[in-house]
Amino acid sequence: MNAIVAGPDEDGLGAALEREGVDVERLEGVLNRPDLEDAGILDAELYVLTDVRQATTIPIVRDLTEGVRTVVYARETVPEFVRGQLDLAVDPALVEPRIVAEELTA
């Protein structure tokens, strides 16, 4: 499985995914469509966003690929315009990264 983790991974979900055998590409900073394409979003099966300030990337990801699962793993609330395009939103204060990684790779 290939995944892109966008944003700071302070809670360790990227590392937990790697322990589950996932090939993780990490991105930080202000992201746009070319950044996502260069990172391999067209081949990714999972897009994890850890910074809700980058929520505009979710519609871009959905536009680029149909099969990618979109996940927000952040303490902040996801903006309304993105909620309908997400497969999962998880607060790291409620579910530890190991459990989320296991569920995403099951």
pLDDT of amino acid 103: 95
Return the percent helix, strand and coil in the chain, to nearest 5: 35, 20, 45
Full-model pTM? 0.94
pLDDT tens digits along 18-48: 999 999 999 999 999 999 999 999 999 999 9
- For residue 69, the cross-strand partners are 46
Average pLDDT of every residue of the chain: 95
pLDDT of amino acid 61: 96
Q: Is the pLDDT of residue 91 over 90?
A: yes
pLDDT of amino acid 62: 94
CATH classification of the domain holding 92: 3.40.50.2300
The residues, ordered by sequence, that sit 6+ positions from 31 with a Cβ below 8 Å of its Cβ are 6, 54, 57
Domain assignment of residue 98, given as a range: 2-105
Looking at the 3D structure of the chain, how many domains does it have?
1
